[in-house]
Amino acid sequence: MADTAVKRDLQLRGRRWWLEVGWRHVVAIVTIAACILPLLYVLSASLNPGGTLTGSNQLFRTIDLENYRDLWGRGYGSWFVNSLVVSTVTAVGTVLMGGAAAYAFSRFRFQGRRSSLTGLLIVQIFPQMLAFVAIFLLLLSIGDVFPVLGLNSRFGLIAVYLGGALGVNTFLMYGFFNTVPRELDEAAKIDGATHAQIFWTIILRLVAPILAVVGLLSFIGTFGEFIVAKVVLQRPEEFTLAVGLYFWAADERTARWGLFAAGAVLAAIPVILLFLFLQKYIVAGLTAGSVKG
Amino acid sequence: MTDQQTVAPPAPPEEPGTRSPRRSRGDGSHARNFSAGFLAKLVLVALVDALGVYGILTALAVESWGIVAFLALALVVVNWVYFSRRAVPGKYLVPGLLFLLVYQLFVMAYTGYVAFTNYGDGHNSTKSDAIESIAIQTETRVEGSPTLPVTVVRSGDELGFAIVQDGEVEVGTADEPFAPVDGASVDGDRATAVPGWEVLGFAGIAEDQEAITALRVPLSDDSADGSVRTQDGSTGYVYQPTLVYDPETDTFTDTATGETYTPSDSGNFVSEDGDRLTPGWRVGVGFDNFTRVFNDPRLTGPFLQITAWTFVFAALSVATTFALGLFLAIVFNDPRVRGRKVYRSLLILPYAFPGFLSALVWKGMLNPKFGYINEVLLGGADIPWLTDPWLAKVSILMVNLWLGFPYMFLVCTGALQSIPEDTIEAARIDGAGRMRILRSMTLPLLMISVAPLLISSFAFNFNNFTLIYMLTGGGPNFVGTPVVVGHTDILITMVYSVAFESGTKQYGLASALSILIFVVVGLIAWLGFRRTRTLEEI
Amino acid sequence: MRRSIPLTAAALGITLALAACSGSADPADTETSAGTDATASGTLTMWVDDTRINEMEPVVAAFTEETGVEVELVQKASGDIGKDFVAQVPTGEGPDIIVSAHDGLGEWVNNGVVAPIELGDKAADFSDSAIAGVTYDGKIYGTPISIENIALVRNNALLTETTATTFDELVAQAKGTGTPFSVLIQQGEASDPYHLYPLQTSFGAPVFEQSADGSYTDTLALGGPAGEAFAAYLAKLGTDKVLDLAIDGDKAKQAFLDGQAPYMITGPWNTSAFAEAGMDISVLPVPSAGGQPAQPFVGVQGVFISAKSENPVLANELVVNYLSTEAAQDMLFEEGGRMPANAASAAKVEDPILKGFNDAGSTGAPMPAIPAMSTVWAFWGATEAQIISGQAEPAGAWNTMVTNIQDAVDKV
């Protein structure tokens, strides 16, 4: 059905094409230009070894890859790997735990369901002003018992991030789960499928778009997080990208903006690639799935 | 799939013998996949139990009673949930809830606890730490006293110092003042061997560091002469305490004036005429931090103005980012747009860069004289983007739109997929216009999953400290107010100014203020969330 | 409950395995040598900021070789060291030693997280302002390792000689070059009291009174007629466009790099970028604006010991007996290129730029480390910004500021 629609629309010409499709390209180009403009400063700074971030509007006066070469001698490579590992594990954990919770909220009626949902939302609002002291104290005590979940451990950091797995993302999934017709589970249940089978083999496949979105949001959020990470991780070899980059810009007077900018430019690449890759799941659509189900 | 199935009995089939009759009721979840699913569960729960039991044992060893209690409770809950028939939803909720409980609720509980204490600069630790600190800070070197090369000596468990006085070796301990010993050998001004005492080398000193630095050897029987101590194990100086702590009466006494300092309710040693010794220690102060909010005249001044702006800022931030995000999501949700995959990926660029970096770049671009916006885009205009009270507010909203729309765009793109295309198609065939479809079909369906996100986005922006702090720092500042706040300050940045920047860091006050803010936003969120109930299906 | 049998068995098995693993780690700790040889075993933890960790590494490596004491360097962001030190020392988990700017010292003392040290005769090896920086309430708390301050930097390609004896003459001379800017002093929306301080002191309005031994009291000294005169001068510089809030740190640096101004008041952290860009620069003292000497703040980098260090002797050995020496400070200078605090090391520095900064700072006073100082910054910058931009009447705004600061200081 989609194929024929595309074929038909390809035949649009002239005014009609502009009205239906063409203006969307204009919107895209204008918005993307607005997105990219400030980032050109970052790109320009990354190509200028001794320069400033916003000191001049003459961008790209010098093009020198020195900053990019410099990155690797300063542990950037291992930070990159750390960030990828931490963010991936956190994203997968968030999708699984959040998805499971959303399933429970969407498909079961139990006492305290409504108040737990509200509770989840309220917890997210709590100001994290003292988080840096509290998390430190917490991991200090946990580390006495489970050193691997304590300070200076990437697992410890992942565990802290998973503490936020049931958050606002759960609602996004919950709402999406609610749009999956219950008749599908009922039918499967009549077939003798257990709730676990329904969850793992039917529901999860149907809600793939939102799982991809939540996974991406969680990945990006973790990838850029440095406030908690710099409390937990203290050794440069354990740093995530965000922590390492933060250090380069932390001292205003000696901030190495060129290096920082180069690091930020490279760090944006996996995020964009991941989104490019996940899009096929995001826009695969529910209808395609439900027809098969 | 359902067609192949013959009518299935509503009750699960008979147990394969291993299961007790009591368990045969219920959902029958393990009846068929006992081998695979159940075994996986068994192994996983066994692993968790093992870790839990190991954790309890270790926690017992290090006497972390909180962890023992938590683990024991968690183990009971996990085992009950996963082996009970009644707790099916629990099986899906427990993993996430456990993490939430440990990491999020702890932060909340800790903040709540701190709000009732005077934790902050000057009240940073326990009373015993404070006593120790006061003692070491007030011990002063006797003026004009010599530098003494000290040799640390030991006899059994007793430590002592050996010094050379007028070419003669003298040894003293904590109880015995320095007294000459015979037969000791000297190298230069330092004793190298003392009969009856073992001379400690650097390695020996390193093993008993705290005892050695704590050792005070009286110079003579008269305590007014002071005592010798060393910090590096090789050089000693004569010290005299100016304040002496008496554990019996729990007071400090000034050795020169005889004034006594007694512990006060606010966590300081205080003299009769009100002199406080620092550091103090952390004590509970009840609701003081909360009542201060209402009594502090510095807070009441611009408070209303800032509160109003906070609400406007948060609401408009959500509205603008959501509108743009939704618009773009709909625009590119059309399969006829070629290259939309690349468009979409480029649209999330602002989200893929560190937020504080973007805020700094924007700050530079909005510079009134040299910024890109004025100098290049507007051809040398002189618009005070960040220094005019109204324009600064506009600028903040614009930058927040730039930073925040990709999130809404992603969320809406995902949520749009739940709207069946054929329903929309049917409406279109029925002659419904584009706006009408959007208003009466797309939006309501979208709101089911997105409404809670809007609430939480409101709450996030209500406390969006980083943006304000990095972009304007709250400025332009009000002129002459007794606390430095400005036209773009929101409540949370005002809390920061009051609790941290104006003087010392007062975590207790900051916690209390942020809890009050939380109560306000929480209430709004709760009310908003109750409204979404009507949007929900079922 | 038959099902629980395999479960319990599995749980027990894994528990035992875990216990075995953890058990095997213990003996390493109990293994100690009771020798009396010259080298000791032990590990010191030291927090260093990102910009200093590289120069500190070889120095502590030499210390380890000499004494056998390992030093673990932990990299912290410079803005976090003081804050985390205060938060973590009470937990017993903090470092033994930190390397940090001295201006947090008052806060650490008031929180009881830093231990006094006894430099003894070694104190004479340092300049007065270096020692004053690490002194609080009459006691020395750290070993100074380097000092830095701002000065007047001249672009020799635009001007080769400076004869000005007053700041007004300097501005006039600079304007003669026809460049877009005359004397760059970085500002920002909240102004920059630190970079304006030499001008302020030249009016005789230092921020706090200093007692005879150089330590600060919390009596404000920036008010009165001297303060009002300075405020009026700020307003004049604002109308003359010498000072412009739009010129932030980034802009000032870039403008000077681009040859758009003959002079800039800045610190050594920027001159390396100027040198890298191939500029020929000289460093001079800031001429007086109000008749009295223009004194910049002197920042002292010091090494401080935690009050709860479990290795007080080793820490003192490193901080008091090792890092204070000429040899160690020579090495730090070679690696990091910052002006050493040790006078003998400093005398050997031949770099004209660093010497220029040092000469300009010789009249300076250390940045106050008293907690009241943190109160001052926000009011100070906000008021200066309002005066420079013409938003507020100079003398009135300055006096309101003094009153507000006094109120806030009294609350501390």
Check whether A141 has a pLDDT greater than 50: yes
Cis peptide before B195 (omega within 30 of 0): no
Are A105 and A141 part of one and the same domain? yes
Interface of B with A in 326-345 (CB under 8 A): 328, 331-337, 339-345
Q: What is the pLDDT of residue B428?
A: 81
Same domain, A51 and A175: no
A53 with A41: CB under 8 angstroms? yes
Q: Is residue A70 situated within a structural domain?
A: no
Give contacts of A190 with chain B, Cβ < 8 Å: 2, 5, 8
B499 confidence band (pLDDT: 50, 70, 90): confident
How far apart CA C305 and CA C311 sit, in angstroms, is 10
Pick from A50, A234, A236: CB nearest C273: A50
**Quick one: which H or E segment has residue A220?**
helix A208-224
Quick check: B81 and A110 in contact, CB under 8 A? no
- Indicate the helix (H) or strand (E) that contains B245: strand B243-246
Contacts of C25 in chain B (CB under 8 A): none
Q: Indicate the CATH number for domain C151-295+371-411.
A: 3.40.190.10
Give the rounded percent of residues in chain B with a pLDDT score beyond 90.
43
pLDDT of residue A8: 52
Q: Which of B122, B132, B475 sits opposite C189 (nearest CB)?
A: B475
Residue B35 is encoded by which pair of tokens? Answer: 């081998």
Cβ separation A56–C93 shorter than 8 A? no
Contacts of C320 in chain B (CB under 8 A): 231-232
Lay out the sheet containing B260-263: strands in order across: B243-246, B251-254, B260-263, B269-271, B276-277
Cβ pair A259, A41 in contact under 8 A: no
* Domain positions in chain B: 31-115, 142-241, 297-535
pLDDT tier at B18, thresholds 50, 70, 90: very low
Same domain, A150 and A189: yes
Domain-embedded: residue A265: yes
Which of C75, C181, C272 to mutate to probe the A interface, most A CBs <10 Å?
C75
Interface residue of C51, C89, C256 to substitute, partner A, most A CBs within 10 Å: C51
Together in a domain, A8 and A112: no
What distance in Å separates residue C390's CA from the closest CA in chain A? 24
CB contact under 8 A, C392 and B479: yes
Q: CATH number of the domain at C43-148+299-366, out of 3.90.79.10, 3.40.930.10, 3.40.190.10, 3.30.70.141?
A: 3.40.190.10
| Residue A210 located in a structural domain | yes
* Terminal alpha carbon distance of chain B: 26
Rounded CA gap, C15 and B530, in Å?
46
* Average pLDDT of the segment spanning C299-311: 95
- The H or E element containing residue C375 is helix C372-388
Would the pLDDT of A287 be above 50? no
What does the alpha-carbon distance between residue A167 and residue B114 come to, in Å, rounded to a whole number? 24
Please tell me the predicted confidence (pLDDT) of residue B533: 66
pLDDT at B501: 65
Nearest CA in chain C to A253: C269
Among the partner residues A49, A56, A247, nearest to C254 by beta-carbon distance: A56
Q: Check CB contact of B349 with chain A, cutoff 8 Å.
A: yes
pLDDT tens by residue, C220-257? 999 999 999 999 999 999 999 999 999 999 899 999 99
CB-CB neighbors (< 8 A) of A56 in chain C: 254, 258
Same fold, C43-148+299-366 and C151-295+371-411: yes
Domain B142-241 is of which CATH architecture?
Beta Barrel (2.40)
What are the extents of the domains in chain C?
43-148+299-366, 151-295+371-411
Instruction: Kindly determine whether residue C277 and residue A50, on different chains, have CB atoms separated by under 8 Å.
Output: yes
Give the torsion sign (CA, B428, B434, B437, B442): positive
Check whether B334 has a pLDDT greater than 90. no
Domain B297-535 has CATH 1.25.40.80: no
Among candidates A39, A129, A194 on the partner chain, residue whose Cβ is nearest the Cβ of B33: A194
pLDDT band at C37 (very low <50, low <70, confident <90, very high): low
Closest-CA residue to B536 (of A206, A175, A167): A175
SS3 B11: coil
Same-domain status, A40 and A89: no
Which chain C residues have a beta carbon less than 8 Å from that of A246?
A: 77
Q: Span C15-21, mean pLDDT?
A: 47
Q: Nearest residue of B to residue A188 by CA position? A: B2
pLDDT at C185 over 90: yes
| Amino acid B1: pLDDT | 34
Place of tokens 């927040």: B400
What was the pLDDT predicted at C27?
Answer: 38
Segment C64-78 mean pLDDT:
91
pLDDT, position A261: 92
Q: Which of residues 48-67 of C touch B (CB under 8 A)?
A: 67
Kindly state whether residue A149 falls inside one of the protein's structural domains: yes
Touching C: B residues 252-281, CB under 8 Å: 278-279
Tell me, yes or no, whether A69 lies in a domain: no
- Strand-pair category, B243-246 with B251-254: antiparallel
B364 touches chain A (CB under 8 A): yes
Average pLDDT estimate for B377-399 = 92
CB-CB: which of A5, A146, A197 is closest to B335?
Answer: A5
Is the confidence at residue A199, as pLDDT, over 80?
Answer: yes
| Segment A223-252 mean pLDDT | 87
Between residues B107 and A286, the one the model is more confident about: B107
Cα B416 to Cα A286: distance, rounded to the nearest angstrom: 10
What is the reported pLDDT for B220? 87
**Partner-chain contact C189 B83, CB within 8 Å:** no
Of A42, A64, A86, the residue at which a domain comes to its end is: A64
Nearest CB neighbour to B106, from listed A6, A28, A138:
A138
The DSSP code for C240 is T
Residue A29's domain comprises: 2-64
pLDDT at residue A288 is higher than 70: no
Contact B137/C at CB under 8 A: yes
Contacts of A131 in chain B (CB under 8 A): 107
Q: Is A52 in Cβ contact with C253 (below 8 Å)?
A: yes
Q: Which C-chain residues 335-374 have CB contacts (< 8 A) with chain B?
A: 371-372, 374
Asked whether this complex has an ipTM greater than 0.95, the answer is no
Number of domains comprising chain A: 2
Partner chains of C (3+ C-beta pairs under 8 Å):
A, B
* Nearest Cβ partner for B92 among A100, A114, A275: A100
A103 and A244: one domain?
yes
Listed residue (B126, B198, B138) closest to B162, CA to CA:
B198
Residues of chain B neighbouring C411 (CB-CB closer than 8 A): 502-503
Residues A6 and A133 in one domain: no
Confidence at C31, pLDDT banded by 50, 70, 90 = very low
CATH code at A213?
A: 1.10.3720.10
Q: pLDDT-based confidence at C78, cuts 50/70/90?
A: confident
Cα–Cα distances (Å) from C282 to A286, B351, C354, C355, in that order, read 70, 44, 10, 10
Are C269 and A53 a contacting pair at CB < 8 A?
A: no
Q: Measure the CA–CA gap between B436 and C133, rounded to whole angstroms.
A: 71
Cα torsion A176, A178, A182, A188 to 10°: value is 50
CA distance B34 to B40: 9
